């Protein structure tokens, strides 16, 4: 990565204890982008569309290399899953966004009743946006936020995750081939690089990943008063209503638990099921898993756990539950011995779980489904409400009014009734968390707005009516009397 030395630093005044920032190796690149942003001015709609078209051509040209790199990073990653998420989803979002930019950029006028003629809301680019992606979808989760940032007129610096280094290098090569580094650039490297990246004084920083690292990113950004978007995860609950067909719920839940080996931030994490239905659930789960995955070791459709550390972590969650009295069923129809080095975990269902088990305390991020027994849907709702706010909530019920009630009562980043994960793929809707699961949202217009400064502007003619004479001193003795009359008028009766 070459960084020109002939760049003027345009940053806030140096703060006490700012020496680490001055020595940050990526600061010259940030300065280069910020200078270009200031010198060039705000990009037109046509320029933004051109950048997005360039990105689409780049992703299409590199689709095979990206797919190979992601699979190499995972050990094995289903080609279908990579193409669907890390390629097609990105191209689809670009196509959706490019057709809306002109409309989104138009100034918005408030109702005339505001009493302020000439006032408007303007969406302005912020400047330079930093994007820190997550390893589970290593292309999509750096490029999807970049799409919103570009649509909003910003320059972009990307930091792909260090857990998937091969993919990061391909992304860096792709971006360098298709973009000047003043428009979009990539920083690669390990944990230290990620820390240094998060400490840069961006105009906006978005991070996708786990909650604990998200807190650290937010603390680093706070030193620069950099606004942040945090897309994190948590334990997304799935409630199955008392009378809902178990097999229907399982078929849909299993998609979320097996897609990318359950390594998805909005994957259903655990199920809340009425006591007495556990045996039926386990039986149907086993049957469904056997039909979907008759073999494991050489199955091209099965994605591996990303690395040895996460493989050991998920297995440790299973063993902890087993040791504390839970019943564990791992579905291995052919009774295969999975060779060492193949990080495959069979679809696993766990019953008789208790809250002291790690599997009910930590985000699983794997193809393992704990079932917590409850006496009623109301108890399930109470359980969810008293825990950290999840990124997603799922509810299965034939009764639409009950489903709406659950959607309304529970606070979560997003929610879906009678299916899983689909709400997050809709570009007309915001995607984001709340509380421990995140701050802010993006996708479609919401990404454009997230990476824009929403500026109130008033432009009035010089001879237009102005209230300033009434607010100029001396106020006169009658002014307080008029103020009190207005207060009385604005105060509700009764």
- Whether residue 367 contacts residue 257, with contact meaning beta carbons closer than 8 Å, is answered with yes
* DSSP code, position 12: S
Dihedral over Cα of 239, 136, 191, 216: its sign = negative
Strand ranges in 67-161 using DSSP code E only, listed in sequence order:
119-125, 128-132, 155-159
Count H helices, E strands: the chain? 18, 17
Distance CA 292, CA 36 (A): 52
Tokens 């309304």 -> residue:
408
Among the listed residues 81, 181, 182, 265, the single catalytic one is 265
List 370's β-bridge partners, or say none: 350
> How are strands ordered across the β-sheet holding 155-159?
184-186, 155-159, 128-132, 204-208, 228-231, 438-439
* Catalytic residue from among 231, 278, 363, 450: 231
Instruction: Tell me whether residue 416 is one of the annotated catalytic residues.
Output: no
Return the CA Rg of the chain.
Answer: 26
Paired tokens of 242: 């008392």
Does the active-site annotation cover 265? Answer: yes
Q: Which two tokens stand for residue 341?
A: 């080095």
CA distances from 15 to 11, 31, 204, 363 (A): 11, 17, 19, 38
Q: Which residues are catalytic?
A: 231, 265
């Amino acid at each position: 990565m070459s960084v020109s030395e002939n760049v003027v630093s345009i940053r806030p005044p140096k703060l006490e204890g700012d020496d680490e920032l001055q020595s940050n190796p990526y600061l010259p690149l940030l300065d280069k982008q910020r200078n270009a942003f200031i010198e060039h001015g705000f990009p037109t709609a046509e320029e933004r569309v051109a950048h997005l078209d360039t990105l689409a051509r780049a992703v299409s040209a590199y689709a095979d290399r990206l797919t190979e790199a992601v699979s190499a990073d995972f050990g094995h990653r289903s080609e279908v899953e990579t193409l669907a998420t890390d390629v097609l989803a990105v191209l689809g979002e670009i196509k959706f966004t490019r057709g809306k930019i002109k409309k989104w950029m138009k100034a918005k006028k408030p109702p005339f009743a505001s009493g302020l003629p000439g006032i408007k809301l303007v969406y302005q680019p912020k400047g330079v946006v930093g994007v820190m992606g997550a390893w589970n979808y290593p292309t999509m989760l750096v490029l999807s936020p970049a799409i919103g940032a570009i649509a909003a007129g910003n320059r972009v610096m990307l930091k792909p995750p260090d857990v998937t280094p091969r993919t990061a290098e391909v992304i860096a090569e792709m971006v360098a081939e298709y973009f000047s580094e003043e428009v979009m650039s990539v920083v690669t490297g390990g944990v230290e690089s990620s820390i240094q990246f998060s400490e840069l004084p961006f105009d906006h920083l978005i991070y996708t990943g786990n909650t604990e690292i998200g807190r650290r990113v937010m603390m680093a950004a706070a030193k620069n008063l950099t606004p942040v978007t945090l897309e994190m995860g948590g334990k997304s609950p799935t409630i199955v209503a008392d009378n809902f067909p178990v097999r229907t719920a399982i078929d849909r839940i299993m998609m979320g638990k097996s897609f990318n080996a359950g390594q998805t931030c909005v994957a259903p994490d655990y199920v809340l099921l009425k006591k007495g239905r556990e045996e039926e659930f386990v039986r149907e789960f086993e049957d469904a898993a056997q039909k979907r995955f008759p073999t494991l070791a050489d199955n091209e459709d099965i994605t591996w756990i990303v690395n040895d550390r996460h493989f050991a972590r998920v297995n440790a969650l299973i063993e902890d539950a087993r040791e504390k009295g839970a019943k564990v069923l791992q579905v291995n129809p052919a009774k295969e011995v999975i060779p060492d080095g193949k990080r495959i975990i069979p679809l696993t269902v766990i019953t008789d779980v208790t809250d002291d088990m790690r599997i009910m305390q930590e985000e699983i991020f794997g193809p393992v489904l704990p079932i917590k027994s409850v006496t009623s849907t109301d108890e399930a709702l109470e359980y969810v409400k008293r825990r950290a706010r999840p990124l997603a909530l799922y509810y299965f019920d034939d009764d639409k009014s009950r489903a709406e009630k659950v959607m309304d009562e529970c606070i979560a980043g997003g929610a879906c009734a009678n299916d899983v994960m689909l709400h997050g793929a809709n570009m007309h809707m915001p995607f984001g968390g709340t509380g421990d699961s995140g701050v802010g949202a993006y996708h479609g217009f919401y990404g454009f707005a997230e990476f824009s400064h929403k500026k109130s502007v008033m432009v009035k003619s010089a001879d237009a009516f102005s209230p300033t004479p009434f607010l100029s001193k001396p106020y006169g003795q009658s002014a307080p009397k008029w103020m009190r009359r207005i207060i009385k008028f604005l105060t509700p009766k009764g």
